[in-house]
């Protein structure tokens, strides 16, 4: 094996590490049994993978929308204006030549001076981005937001279709009251190709599992772990949480045993309840570990892909003071089983479905109008009258309060995180929707203001007059002629969140 690890130990007094964390998993969970049964005529062997469920994006979700939701979860209770840099890791970016991280920054209403970048082309893009962010923090940079998100398309009747899942995770790193202190890190770059997706290809091409296990994981990862432990006083037996994504059975446990880590340290890879979320999965497993961690616990996370990244953290007492968030556990609890395999195929453009004449319209997006209205469309910024305090969306030159009607009196007011409820709604089966019926209606905000808006993740059991709603960043529509995705906010039923901390 070629390559040499780069190892970086951290002093015991260092306060560089993770300030906050968050996650997002789609509400829909596709039954693996339904997938296997639908394809049993062609590949009966899929029955062996038919246990559990995988996360499945709604038709209006992609890697950008999930990244926004994970970041919102991670930034709960944090000062967004303090974020100096944003790194977005994904191998399924919706735009090949547009700054995807820039969309996320606009949706989060981060300050205009924020530095944003996309990280891609490797399953360890997120852990490599996390290492870079920690190095920036060590150099004195302000809080850096690292977000990873993945929505991978797979061939019908393939094992990968059952193994992967959709999801996102976020880490806010910097110096100060960290919830997990960085102890050491190690990396090795090796051009070991376990799978690839060439330019213009829709799907991954994967290699033989035994080769990947024996020549890949079992040789590359132990070498990096050995270098990491040499650089610190922490012993393998001290590890409380070992997070290493791998869909191959018993590989993570075998590597942990070889390194000398206790069996109980090996984290659940969430395969049964979500599937592997690609580049996002190391951060998702890290977030899950932080939800269970106690002060002093040592957490070791590994990212594998054309080499290996390993990061060792120590949980601190600041975990107890972190603002409640939904996290991995909360999103796992927010689920709806989906047994309709045809819907999954339609949502992922794996079948050519007749959408009808109502869908046959030109969806060109005027880029000049998008730019001029980006604060409203992407940031969901409305207005508040300086004279009377009335809130309104969208912002306008005239206050809507009939007792005020002041001109040019409005200041920017963010609505995305404001609680709301349904005033009236319609379930429309005449207009086109990828998932009929099309739910939309009038939503009124708790502090004032209202908007006629599309609903998402909605059904007859969750939508009613006065039902609580929360805003979520979603796909508005897609222009297939030009390949442009247009985003906006939608109202989703606000189920009671399950807190991340057990």
pLDDT of residue 313: 98
Q: Which residue has the tokens 């290996």?
A: 308
| 91-108 mean pLDDT | 98
Q: Taking CA 232 as the corner, what is the angle to CA 314 and CA 222, rounded to the nearest 5 degrees?
A: 95
pLDDT the model gives residue 7: 66
Are 342 and 390 in the same domain?
A: no
Phi, psi of 373 (to 5 degrees): -110, 20
Last residue of a domain, one of 308, 331, 347: 347
Q: Which of 164, 153, 169, 162 lies closest to 66 in space, CA to CA?
A: 169
Instruction: Place 430 in a pLDDT band, splitting at 50, 70 and 90.
Output: very high
Q: Does 322 score more than 60 pLDDT?
A: yes
Is residue 501 over pLDDT 50?
A: no
287 lies in some domain: yes
Q: Are residues 329 and 423 in the same domain?
A: no
Q: How many residues does the chain have?
A: 502
Torsion angle of C-alpha atoms 390, 453, 25, 314, degrees rounded to 10: -20
Place of tokens 């035994």: 210
Q: Is the per-residue pLDDT at 390 higher than 70?
A: yes
| Residue 359 pLDDT grade (very low, low, confident, very high; cuts 50, 70, 90) | confident
Tokens of 57: 């994006």
Q: Is 408 found in the same domain as 340? A: no
The answer to the question of residue 1 being in a domain is: no
Is-cis flag, bond preceding 437, omega within 30? Answer: yes
Q: pLDDT band for 497, please (50, 70, 90 cuts).
A: low
Q: Quote the number of domains for the chain.
A: 2
CA 369, CA 146: separation in Å to the nearest integer? Answer: 30
* pLDDT (tens digit per residue) in 75-85: 999 999 999 99
Given the DSSP bridges, would you call strands 85-89 and 144-150 parallel, antiparallel or unpaired? parallel
pLDDT in tens, 440-485: 999 999 999 999 999 999 999 999 999 999 999 999 999 999 999 9
> Which pLDDT score, from 0 to 100, does residue 1 have?
41
Q: Has residue 89 been placed in a domain?
A: yes
- Same domain (yes/no): 197, 285: yes
pLDDT of res. 357: 82
**Between the CA of residue 270 and those of 51, 253, 407, what are the distances in Å?**
12, 14, 54
SS3 (DSSP) at 188:
strand
Q: Looking at the structure, do residues 276 and 421 belong to the same domain, yes or no?
A: no
Q: Is the pLDDT of residue 5 over 80?
A: no
Strands (E), 305-393: 307-315, 336-338, 381-385, 391-392
What does the pLDDT average to over 378-397? 97
Both 324 and 378 in one domain: the answer is: no
Joined together, the tokens standing for residue 87 give: 């790194």
**Structure-model confidence comparison of residues 226 and 352, the more confident one:** 226
Q: Are 337 and 462 contained in the same domain?
A: no
Q: Are residues 321 and 413 in the same domain?
A: no
Residue 4's pLDDT is 56
Together in a domain, 288 and 243: yes
Predicted TM-score of the model (pTM): 0.95
Residue 20 lies in a domain: yes
Burial class (CB in 10 A: 0-12, 13-18, 19+), 481: exposed
Q: For 74-112, give the DSSP string.
A: HTTTS-GGG--EEEEE-S--S-SSS-HHHHHHHHTT--T
Residue 278 to residue 150: CA distance in whole angstroms: 6
Say yes or no: 240 and 125 in one domain.
Answer: yes
Average pLDDT value for residue range 52-74? 98
Residue-wise pLDDT tens digits, 292-309? 999 999 999 999 999 999
**What's the confidence (pLDDT) of residue 48?**
95
Domain range for 473:
374-493
- What is the pLDDT at residue 360? 83
Q: Residue 395 corresponds to which tokens in the numbers above?
A: 């912002």
Query: Token digits for 261?
Result: 């880590």
User: What pLDDT is stored for residue 499 in this prediction?
Assistant: 53
**Same domain? 326 vs 393:** no
Cα 131 to Cα 90: distance, rounded to the nearest angstrom? 16
Whichever domain contains 32, its CATH number is 3.40.47.10
**pLDDT at residue number 2:** 43
């Amino acid at each position: 094996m070629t390559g040499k690890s780069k190892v970086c130990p951290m002093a015991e007094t260092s306060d560089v590490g993770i300030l906050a964390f968050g996650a997002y998993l789609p509400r829909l969970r596709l039954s693996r049994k339904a997938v296997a049964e639908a394809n049993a005529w062609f590949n009966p062997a899929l029955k062996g993978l038919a246990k559990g469920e995988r996360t499945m994006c709604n038709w209006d979700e992609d890697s950008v929308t999930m990244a926004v939701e994970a970041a919102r979860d991670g930034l709960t209770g944090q000062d967004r204006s303090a974020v100096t840099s944003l790194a977005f890791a994904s191998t399924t970016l919706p735009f090949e030549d547009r700054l995807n991280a820039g969309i996320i920054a606009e949706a989060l209403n981060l300050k205009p001076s924020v530095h944003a970048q996309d990280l891609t082309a490797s399953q360890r893009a997120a852990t490599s981005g996390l290492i870079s962010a920690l190095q920036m923090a060590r150099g004195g940079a302000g809080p850096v937001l690292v977000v990873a998100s993945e929505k991978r398309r797979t061939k019908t009747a393939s094992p990968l279709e059952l193994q992967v899942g959709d999801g996102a995770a976020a880490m806010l790193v910097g110096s100060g009251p960290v919830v997990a202190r960085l102890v050491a890190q190690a990396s090795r770059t090796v051009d070991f190709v376990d799978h690839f997706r060439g330019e213009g290809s829709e799907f991954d091409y994967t290699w033989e599992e035994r080769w990947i296990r024996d020549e890949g994981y079992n040789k590359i990862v132990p070498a990096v772990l050995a270098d990491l432990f040499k650089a610190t006083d922490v012993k393998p037996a001290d590890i409380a949480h070992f997070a290493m994504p791998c869909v191959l059975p018993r590989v993570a446990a075998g590597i942990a045993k070889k390194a000398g880590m206790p069996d109980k340290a090996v984290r659940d890879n969430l395969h049964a309840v979500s599937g592997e979320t690609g580049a996002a999965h190391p951060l998702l497993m890290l977030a899950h570990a932080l939800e269970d961690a106690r002060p002093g616990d040592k957490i070791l996370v590994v990212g594998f892909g054309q080499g290996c990244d390993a990061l060792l953290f120590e949980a601190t007492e600041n975990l107890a003071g972190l603002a409640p968030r939904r996290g991995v556990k909360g999103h796992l609890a927010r689920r709806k089983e989906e047994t309709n395999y045809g819907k999954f195929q339609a949502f992922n453009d794996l079948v050519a479905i007749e959408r009808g004449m109502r869908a046959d319209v030109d969806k060109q997006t005027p880029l000049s109008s998008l730019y001029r209205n980006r604060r409203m469309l992407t940031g969901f910024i409305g207005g508040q009258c300086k004279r009377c305090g009335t809130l309104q969306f969208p912002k306008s030159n005239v206050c809507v309060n009939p007792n005020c009607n002041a001109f040019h009196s409005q200041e920017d007011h963010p609505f995305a995180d404001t609680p709301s409820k349904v005033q009236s709604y319609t379930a429309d089966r005449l207009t086109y929707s990828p998932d009929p019926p099309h739910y939309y209606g009038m939503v009124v905000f708790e502090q004032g203001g209202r908007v006629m808006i599309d609903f998402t993740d909605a059904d007859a059991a969750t939508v009613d007059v006065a039902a609580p709603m929360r805003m979520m960043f979603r796909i508005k529509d897609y222009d297939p002629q030009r390949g442009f995705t247009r985003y906006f906010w939608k109202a989703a039923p606000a189920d009671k969140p399950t807190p991340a901390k057990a």
